Structure 1
């Protein structure tokens, strides 16, 4: 299949807000790709992902590109082979070798193909084909129930192999049988279950249903696979990080079992046992430096909260209460703190104690819930203390995908308490309804002063109330800090800019 055909579909999906039209365009292209045996790669590309996950090339390596080709000629197979070769480059002189490989690939691409490939490689491809749309498209292309596709992707981790299995079988009943054969494999990461959100404990714990309320550790989510003494560690994005965390590997290798798949968090703690700032844990787990030295400097503590497989027995479909009981027997010393209760007062007390201890909040879990990997639902609900700030909008970025044609991502400004100047704290597009997007597009075009590419700079007059989970150090912004998980609550037409909040203190 020609790469230009994939890019054509990407453009169609980006240009429409109709979910039905997106699904139809994607399904048609997936069927075409199946005939050439490239559906797995094409599915990943249309989802904005690389099959290789990373190829060792950043924005810096793509700033100076060769002159583009005049006519499209690249195929999907050629691009995939080139990117796989890029990902394998290592050792002495790898920088020059990688640069030459980038030049070779991009010299064969047209200007449109170059722009699209840059977005794909850097993870900045915004084409409005999220998980829900891609999975629905696979379902329609293969003529199988969407629920079958979702479960297969949950267990396989990625949509590409599932599309290949379904469409490679020819669709229909044969495809359904092919999907049913995809099972949990120890050593292959599956998608993590996600939590919905609630503003407070009483909204989740109703005094009638018994639930588990456990500490929400503000660390790095980790999926742990143990097979015959070999331990492999995967992040929530399914990236393998085994070599970076020797103390976690040792802790799991000592468990009295041959095979297991576990879910948990790792976190750096102070000597007093309080959580270090998230950045400390994040920097330790992201670093590829000498793990032994890093272990001495920033040791990690392992907390486990779920068990998905144990010695040949898959547990993902079993109730949470049964999974917890098996986990407590297997690894009692690694369990996250939890209370089981139907009492909102007891749950609130536990929540308050965890926040006082420096943790992020709690997760309320239904005892009967299966492990619904890759989805947010009522089975898990996180509750965190909410912080708010009144800030001013400094600029806005044009949206992409479903938000194409609307001003979306807002740049947030606070007041420097020393100078009185406005200081940028970060950006957010979270929490915006369609009505809000329509309103703010008109509003900020009225306040526009000038543009820099896709960014519309505005007069700093519109106050916005922002909720956030915490503050972290950030060299990216002049104030030296940024907000974690910032989202819009409402625009404050009742507040003048003179009353916005100062830069928060760490």
Structure 2
């Protein structure tokens, strides 16, 4: 059959951008997916959400705005007979750009970009540029794409979401759903060294709110001012992944050594926080912690400069059994089997708001953010933000107004990018800071 042209995907993106109605967007996505061949589904899904690789991949395009601008500015040098690019051709070329390395790779990347843009019409070039920078601005997030997949394949949306949580690869989920339906989706289970999407928390105003919502009793843990990590151990091998599912093992060998020293030798996946500490034992600023996670050279020298402590709070897999459907209380019991007490997060189980408030005071006095409240019978819902976990932090609110904005530069050219915030002094607005994307 004829391959689907990239222009069809570009037109889909414009249609998605033109409506704000969720049902219309999912219907558009569903109708488009039904027209695709099996080997076009994964590329189309990823490109539509502004991605080339699944979340679990460390690969990047590594194409800057200046490089792309040079290519676009030379866009007039097109071929005499324009070839209509297909979705698969665009996807394959972007993958080739990402894998280019070594001497001359920068020029090779530009040449590949030039060949693509020389064959594109203005609409295709616009959408292609958005894909390259991962900024689609069409109002389609991962959740909406999952709904479209479920609608297209007439499968349970909850099952589609679970499959993504297990694999971190929305393209693979879509392929399996289209090809094999619910049977295929159920076959997608967690694997060692493939990170699960982390469970997320909502915010509660007070310990009392959490206790009431959880039926009169809750677990309260320190909310550490660190970086969330997921640790996989199989035999002697340990791999560690960040909250964004990036493999950070090589940057934190001290945490690897800690885990290798655990007496428990059965395979496991556990979750916790890595916290950078100073000479006084108090947490260092988050910026210092990030220096550890981004370091790839002279790593052990950085270990000496910025030591880490490990605080664990959940067990997701143990001795061949996936634990995410087990209640929190049971997962914690298994965590206690896996890790020595010194590595467990500080926590209490209580029905007293006063006791929880005292624990929060202790946490903040020690330099941490506050508390996590957790329902004792709650399952672990990877990638989901529900009410089974609450975060509680001391907060101060301030009413501000936007008093000015800056025009963006580079890839944000033509957009208002930085917003200046002010407070009313009684006679004028005083600027107190800026807010950026995010």
Short-chain TM bin: 0.7 to 0.9
Q: Indicate the residue corresponding to 1:301 in structure 2.
A: 309
- Provide the rounded CA distance (Å) in 2 between the counterparts of 1:229 and 1:105: 46
Instruction: Compute the displacement of 1:58 (Å).
Output: 2.9
The one of 282, 286, 291 equivalent to 1:274 is 282
By how many angstroms is 1:125 displaced?
1.8
The Cα RMSD (Å) is 2.5
Match of 1:192 among 182, 198, 202: 198
Alignment of 1:26-175 (within 5 A): 26-33=29-36, 35-51=37-53, 54-65=60-71, 66-67=74-75, 73-169=84-180, 175=181
**1:245 equivalenced with 2:252 (yes/no):** yes
Match of 1:404? Answer: none
TM-score, structure 1 as length reference = 0.76
Alignment partner, residue 7 of structure 1: 10
Closer, same or farther in 2 for the Cα pair 1:4/1:132, shift >3 Å?
same
CA distance 1:111–1:252, change in 2 (3 Å): farther
Cα contact 1:205–1:347 (8 A) shared by 2: no
Alpha-carbon distance change, 286 to 60 in structure 1, aligned in 2, over 3 angstroms: farther
- In 1, Cα distance between equivalents of 2:171 and 2:406: 31
Matched with 2:272 is 264
Give the structure-2-normalised TM-score. 0.87
Q: Does 1:339 align with 2:341?
A: no
Count residues with an aligned counterpart.
412
Distance of 2:144 and 2:172 partners within structure 1: 16
Q: Deviations over 1:301-325 (max 9, x none)?
A: 2221111001101111100001101
**Relative contact order higher in (CA < 8 Å, ≥ 6 apart):** 2
Q: Whole-Å Cα distance in 2 between the matches of residues 89 and 298 of structure 1?
A: 34
Residue 283 (structure 1) aligned to one of 291, 295, 303: 291
CA distance in 2, matches of 1:428, 1:93: 34
Rounded to whole Å, the distance in 1 between the matches of 2:179 and 2:383 is 24
List runs of 5+ in structure 2 lacking aligned partners.
408-414
Work out the CA distance in 2 between the residues paired with 1:56 and 1:224: 28
CA drift at 1:293:
2.6
Distance across 2 between alignment mates of 1:187 and 1:147? 24
Q: What's the offset of the Cα at 1:95?
A: 2.8
The aligned counterpart of 1:380 is: 389
Report the CA distance between 1:410 and its aligned residue.
7.4
1:182 aligns with 2:185: no
Alpha-carbon contact 1:48-1:126 (below 8 Å) kept: no
Take 2:62 and 2:298, find their aligned partners in 1: how far apart are those partners?
19
Q: Specify the alignment match of 2:412 in structure 1.
A: none
Q: Does structure 2 retain, via aligned residues, the 8 Å contact 1:391–1:412?
A: no
By how many angstroms is 1:196 displaced?
Answer: 0.7
**By percentage of residues, which structure has more strand?**
1
Flag the structure with higher helix content: 2
In structure 2, C-alpha distance between the alignment counterparts of 1:423 and 1:119, rounded to whole Å = 33
| Cα shift at 1:100 | 3.0
Separation in 2, partners of 1:208, 1:277: 36
Secondary structure in 2 matching 1:251: helix
- State how far apart, in whole Å, the 1-side matches of 2:339 and 2:323 are: 16
* Residue 17 of structure 1: aligned partner: 20
Report 1:423-462 matches (<5 A): 424-427=433-436
In structure 1, C-alpha distance between the alignment counterparts of 2:302 and 2:127, rounded to whole Å: 38
Mapped to 2, the partners of 1:369 and 1:295 lie a distance apart of 36
Taking a change above 3 Å as real, the CA distance of residues 102 and 243 of structure 1, as seen in their structure-2 partners, is farther
